[in-house]
A and B are shown apart, each in its own frame.
Chain A
Amino acid sequence: MKKSDNTLNGAEIFFECLKREKVEHIFGYPGGAVLKLYEHLHDVNFLQHILVRHEQGAVHAAEGYAKASGKTGVVLVTSGPGATNTVTGIADAYMDSVPVVIFTGQVPSHLIGNDAFQEADIVGITRPITKHSFLVRDVKELALTIRKAFYIASTGRPGPVLVDLPKDVIASKCEFVYPEDVEIRGYKPTYKGHTNQIKKVAEVIAAAKRPLLYVGGGVIMSGGSQELALFARENKLPVAMTLQGLGAFPGTDDLSLGMLGMHGTYWANRAVDNCDVLVSLGARFDDRVTGKVETFAKNAYKIHVDIDPTCIDKNVVVDLPVVGDVKHIIAEIASEMPNPPETGEWLEQINEWREECPLVYEDNDGRLRTEFVIEKIFQKTKGEAVVVTDVGQHQMWTAQYYKYNNPRSNLTSGGLGTMGFSIPAAIGASFAVKDRPIISISGDGGFQMNIQELITAAAYKVPVKFIIINNSFLGMVRQWQELFHAEKFSFTDLSASNPDFVKVGEAFGIESYSTDNPKEVDSLLDKAFSVNDRAILLEFKVVKADMVFPMVPSGGSISDMMVKRLNPKRMI
């Protein structure tokens, strides 16, 4: 066999490629099929491997890392159960368009299909939840495949890409040639928007009486927050954001209407209902935003800017689509504006709605409430922290009460709604963000879904503030049970079966505190913010049966919006 100087084995090629992709962190868990990779990893010094305690945690950590940094998150796990454990994380990344590359080990090529030990057809299993996937069948394809995987994951509308690595491919050798350029003829994302369409958008906005910007996570992903802020402020355009869009525009700005949709603010939803021009920027008309599509912004001329053509006309048929990179398109629309629209009256109207039905909660009975805790966190961090929420009531209250001032600081599982997201995602984010506090907020239900990652937090001394909002209920499900399911609180009451979270935290080596007293919130938060070299855990025991309002029932119209509890006797 001819030996060239640059003959490497698959594992060496793997790390050479990661180095060239400038990967600095990798979240993983070793196992039989990837032993060769871990053998080499032992001596690799250009990246840090973070050992999680469950592969789902690895993917969420990579998501948190990617969302906070804008870089591609990287996961390395073994075959079979290691691979199948990543599935929820991959689905989550797919729904929220997070750039993640997942490397899974696979049984040796000759055993594929034999029901070999720890074999799973992970490429097949994840096909509907990945942007793309590869099974590497020859070590000669490895470098190009890794190059393509990072390229696909991070360009266009980002998403997870899975690379399945059979054990023999990793062990065999070939000459290493790094492909500098990557060309995929079936994959050419459109970045540049259509010039005439953009001109038309500017004209329509300039002539509008009641324009509204409906901003999604795409603006953050494209790095278009500055362009958006300039455009909105110069033209006095109100901005309503989706759950993923929060942070794209400063929440403390007068033009921010906060979140729209199911648990959006009253004034944002009224603005959607009454606007004459709706400009969707990097959002996808998700059902949690639109409710009943027939009545969503029913009188508005709808403009939709998105990099993914499949999002256009998918849920709501729009009048004027522009496909391309939203950052550049916002800048181009701004430069094409013939004049700012007359929005004075419209903004006054929105302010009237603001006063008509502000966000309020009961705060004079001496009992602790989630909204109070979130408001305190907001006051202490002035909207500058990275806040990683889980899924449920606390997530919606955080979206309402925490006014994110920066992009890439609101990390949450939106599309898939994955309980158990917050702990690992906050850990992942902590490897990307060093200059701002990182706060993980979970409910008592979700906190237990990836609770094993607390030891990862403790082991790496990540300065995450873990906050548990404990109402001893699966609160959002309870809310639906009260409102729509005959008050049958079926299997949502955890009050008799929750663990002692302070003892749990301490068992994992994390300093932990608990309170149900509103007067102690300040001092506990101050303590948490004074600790910056390790994790800390705070449990806030809040009232059991509060509900999140406003609420537009699933599939309902803005006119169905509930702004408060109709049956107060249910308050516990």
Chain B
Amino acid sequence: MKHTISVLVENHFGAFDRVATMFSGKGFNIRSISIGETEIAEISRMTIVTEGDDQIIDQVVKQLNRLIDTIKVVDLADTYHVERELALISIGLHKGSMEQIKNICDIFRGSIVDITNKSMMIEVTGPPDKIDAAVNVLAPFGIKEMARSGIVALKRGEQLKIQKKENITT
């Protein structure tokens, strides 16, 4: 089963390598991984999408916790959370296809971020299945290049309260 795991790590040199090394060394899968800043300068958030049975996910969470540079690990699978992904999709233009692509882009509430005579680039944001749907619909037009950000996710509602409670401050 697919799990989205949110990991707060020290914004140190090498912290990402440790997580990646752990995954490859233990033979765990990474479907996607994204890293970025948080509201606290010294802490980064990694959002990792992995898969496995309960025992494997249990080990993934424990092994992540065991790393010295990880501060907090949350398996979001059992919680209400928001997942978002961003995709940049470059599509080749053919006679008459521009209008159709623009319509599809509107349906997915995407935006056109680049255009030339030969191609246009669309930015789509949303839950990963929405991105999948957009990609599927756009595929027949000829996707020239695509970049997906990987998932970022946050727990809904009480997320902020939890952070306050644990007093994660600089």
Would you call A135 an interface residue if the criterion is a C-beta within 8 Å of the partner chain's C-beta atoms?
yes
Would you call A6 an interface residue if the criterion is a C-beta within 8 Å of the partner chain's C-beta atoms?
no
B-contacting 9-mer, from A276-284, A309-317, A397-405: A309-317
B9 CB to nearest A CB, Å: 8
Which residues of chain B have C-beta atoms less than 8 A from A187's C-beta? 68
Contact B59 A310 (CB under 8 A): yes
Would you call B139 an interface residue if the criterion is a C-beta within 8 Å of the partner chain's C-beta atoms?
no
Known contacts A123-B14, A185-B71, A187-B68; A310 and B63 CB within 8 A of each other = yes
B-contacting 9-mer, from A15-23, A124-132, A516-524: A124-132
B26 CB to nearest A CB, Å: 9
A486 CB to nearest B CB, Å: 31
- For the complex, give the distance between the alpha carbons of A152 and B69 in Å: 12
Contact A186 B58 (CB under 8 A): no
- For the complex, give the distance between the alpha carbons of A55 and B82 in Å: 51
Contact A132 B13 (CB under 8 A): no
Contact B66 A184 (CB under 8 A): no
Give the total of B residues in contact with A, Cβ under 8 Å.
22
Which residues of chain B have C-beta atoms less than 8 A from A128's C-beta? 21-22, 25
Contact B62 A310 (CB under 8 A): yes
Contact B55 A313 (CB under 8 A): yes
Closest-by-CB residue of B relative to A123 is B14
Would you call B67 an interface residue if the criterion is a C-beta within 8 Å of the partner chain's C-beta atoms?
yes
> A309-337: which residues lie under 8 A (CB-CB) from chain B?
309-310, 312-314, 317
Contact B62 A152 (CB under 8 A): no
Known contacts A308-B66, A314-B59; A127 and B18 CB within 8 A of each other = yes
User: Per-residue 0/1 for A157-195: is the Cβ within 8 Å of any B Cβ (1 yes, 0 no)?
Assistant: 000000000000000000000000000111100000000
- For the complex, give the distance between the alpha carbons of A313 and B25 in Å: 18
Contact A186 B67 (CB under 8 A): yes
Would you call B83 an interface residue if the criterion is a C-beta within 8 Å of the partner chain's C-beta atoms?
no
Would you call A564 an interface residue if the criterion is a C-beta within 8 Å of the partner chain's C-beta atoms?
no
B24 CB to nearest A CB, Å: 8
Given contacts A127-B18, A309-B66, A313-B58, 10 further A-B contacts (CB under 8 A): A128-B21, A131-B68, A185-B71, A186-B68, A186-B70, A186-B71, A187-B68, A310-B62, A310-B63, A317-B55
Please list the residues of chain B having a beta carbon within 8 angstroms of any beta carbon in chain A: 9-10, 13-14, 17-18, 21-22, 25, 55, 58-59, 62-63, 65-71, 168
A-B pairs, 5 with minimum CB distance: A310-B62, A132-B68, A128-B25, A186-B71, A127-B21
Question: Can you name 30 A-B residue pairings with CB atoms under 8 Å?
Answer: A124-B17, A127-B14, A127-B17, A127-B18, A127-B21, A128-B21, A128-B25, A131-B68, A132-B68, A135-B14, A137-B13, A185-B71, A186-B9, A186-B10, A186-B67, A186-B68, A186-B70, A186-B71, A187-B68, A308-B66, A309-B62, A309-B66, A310-B59, A310-B62, A310-B63, A313-B55, A313-B58, A313-B59, A314-B59, A317-B55
